[in-house]
Amino acid sequence: MSRVCIAVPRRLVGALTLAAAFAPVAPALAASPQLGSRVLREGMTGTDVRALQRDLTQAGFSTPAAGMFGPVTAHSVKSFESRYRLQVNGVVGRTFVRALHIVLAADLSQSDVVSGSGGTGLGAAQVSKPATVAATPTPTASAVDPTSVTDPITAPVVQDGGSQHLGERVLQQGMQGHDVRVLQGFLTTAGYPTTVDGQFGATTETSVVAFQTANALVANGIVTYADSVILRQLVAKALAGGAVAKATINADGTATAPAGAPLIVQQVIAAANQIIGKPYIYGGGHASFTDVGYDCSGSVSYALHGGNLLSAPLDSTGLETYGSAGPGTWITIYADASHTWMVVAGIAFDTADYGGPNIPAGTGPRWRSDPTGNLADGGDYVVRHPSGL
C-alpha cells in the first residue's frame, strides 16, 4: 500500500472541496459501465469499479477487485493521487483515469508523474529505474512516448531545481533540488555530516568525495545512480540500529512509552495517542493543531507540539528541514514532498498502512510496529530528528 498524502495548508482544502463538488458527473450506466465513463466515488459499485481496482493493483497500489468502492479502494485512489501529484480527493474522474492509463502504459508505477501546475494536470514523467534505464518522456493525453531513454550513470547533467528522486539524474556541484536535499540527508545519516539545504556546494562535494573514497568508488564528487545505490545501503544499515528502548502498542491502538524514556518522549507519545482514531483528512491539522482529522504531516506536527518541540504546524516539505539531520536516538522524522511519518521509541506514527495491524480501524494516524516499513513505498525521505533526541 502506498503513502497517503501530500500535506498542504488547510486553507487550500476548501478550494479542493469546491472543485470536487463541481466536477462533471456522467450518469451511471445501467449495463456494464467502462472505466472513465462516469465519475466514481466511495459507495459505488460496478464493473468499472472492478476495473479500477485491477488497474490500481497493476500500478502498484494493491486493491481487492471486489467491484465495490469501499474504504480500501478510496485509500488506494488517494495514494495514487498523492504519488502522482493529482488533486487528492478520492474521486475517480477522467483526469484520474487518464493518469492511471499513462502510468500503466509506460510502466511508471515507481515514478513521479508531476503536474506542471501542482494541480490536476499531468506533466513530464520521470522514471526511477535501474541503472540501465531512466526515461524522461513527455506523455500526451493518451500515451507516453517510450523512446528517448538514457543511462543515468553517463547521462549529461541537467541543471534544474526539480523534485527528482535521488538517482534519477547525475548530481554534481552547482545543482539544486529535492534529490540534492535527500543526498545531503543520506550522507549525514551514513556518517558524512552535510548541511541539508538542497544546494550542491563545495561542502556537499567534500562529503561526497569522502563517501566515495571510503566505499572504493570513483572519488570525483559526482553522484551517479551506482553511487546512490551504495549510499542507500549504508543508510539502511544506519537506520537499523533503532532506539534505546521500544514503546509498546496497546490493544486499543495507543502506545505506552518505555521505562526510562525522557519526559519529552513521553509527552510526544501521549499527544499522538490523543488523535489515534481521528480520520485522515487532507490538509487536516494545518490551520490549527486542534482539528477533526489529520493528514500525515498534521499528525506528526500535533505529536511534536505535544512535546513542546514545534510551535506551529509544518507540512511535509517544512519537516524536511526541521531539527537536525540524520536519525535521532528517540525520535526520527522521515519527510519528503509527498509524505511524512515519525518513529518514536522504536515504533512508527504514520497515516499510511505499513508495518503493523490497523488498530483501531480507519485511515488516520496510527502506531505501527515496524519503524521503517513505510520505506517500501519508494519515496525519497530526508531523515531528521529533534536536536538532542
Closest to 303 (Cα-Cα) out of 355, 358, 356, 347: 347
Closest to 373 (Cα-Cα) out of 343, 344, 345: 343
- Residue range 222-255, pLDDT digits in tens: 998 888 888 888 877 766 655 567 889 999 999 9
Residues 357-377: what's their mean pLDDT?
Answer: 80
Closest to 339 (Cα-Cα) out of 290, 373, 286, 377: 377
Distance CA 225, CA 207 (A): 17
pLDDT of residue 7: 45
- Residue range 283-299, pLDDT digits in tens: 888 988 989 999 999 99
pLDDT tier for residue 377 given thresholds of 50, 70 and 90: low
pLDDT of residue 243: 53
Q: At what angle do helices 225-239 and 178-189 cross, to 10 degrees?
A: 50
Contact indicator for 374, 355 with CB cutoff of 8 Å:
yes
pLDDT of residue 171 exceeding 60, the answer is: yes
Phi, psi of 288 (to 5 degrees): -155, 150
pLDDT tier for residue 117 given thresholds of 50, 70 and 90: very low
Residue type, 73: T
Residue 158, all three cell numbers: 541537467
Distance CA 285, CA 23 (A): 26
CA distances 160 to 82, 198, 262, Å, are 23, 12, 43
pLDDT of residue 150 exceeding 70, the answer is: no
DSSP 260: T
3-state secondary structure of 32: coil
pLDDT of residue 53: 93
pLDDT of residue 209 exceeding 90, the answer is: yes
State the Rg of the chain over Cα: 21
pLDDT of residue 15 exceeding 80, the answer is: no
Distance CA 15, CA 314 (A): 20
Distance CA 379, CA 337 (A): 9
Distance CA 73, CA 158 (A): 38
Match 539524474 to its residue by C-alpha cell. Answer: 169
Contact indicator for 151, 226 with CB cutoff of 8 Å:
no
Average pLDDT of the residues of the chain: 74
- Residue range 19-71, pLDDT digits in tens: 333 344 444 333 467 888 888 999 999 888 999 998 898 888 889 988 899 99
Residues 322-333: what's their mean pLDDT?
Answer: 87
Closest to 110 (Cα-Cα) out of 134, 145, 78: 134
**Sign of the CA dihedral with 187 first, then 204, 84, and 281 last:** positive
Distance CA 335, CA 330 (A): 17
| Greater pLDDT, 268 or 124 | 268
pLDDT tier for residue 268 given thresholds of 50, 70 and 90: very high
Give a three-class secondary structure readout of 84-129: CCCCCCCCECHHHHHHHHHHHHHCCCCCEECCCCCCCCCCCEECCC
For residues 361-386, one letter each, b for 16 or more C-beta atoms within 10 angstroms of the residue's C-beta and e for the rest, the string is ebbbbbbbebbbbbbebebbbbbbbb
Residues 190-202: what's their mean pLDDT?
Answer: 86
pLDDT of residue 182 exceeding 80, the answer is: yes
pLDDT of residue 197: 85
| Greater pLDDT, 348 or 245 | 348
pLDDT of residue 118: 25
Residues 115-128: what's their mean pLDDT?
Answer: 30
Distance CA 270, CA 349 (A): 12
pLDDT of residue 108: 39
CA 148 to chain centre: 28
On the CB side of 235, CA atoms within 13 Å amount to 26
pLDDT tier for residue 4 given thresholds of 50, 70 and 90: very low
CA distances 337 to 121, 264, 277, 313, 316, Å, are 18, 27, 25, 15, 6
Contact indicator for 44, 69 with CB cutoff of 8 Å:
yes
Residues 157-174: what's their mean pLDDT?
Answer: 66
| Greater pLDDT, 388 or 315 | 315
Which residues on adjacent β-strands are paired with residue 322?
none
pTM summary value = 0.49
pLDDT of residue 174 exceeding 90, the answer is: yes
Q: Which domains does the chain have, with CATH numbers?
A: 10-125 (1.10.101.10), 155-239 (1.10.101.10), 248-385 (3.90.1720.10)
Q: What is the dihedral of CA 125, 131, 133, 136, to 10 degrees?
A: 30
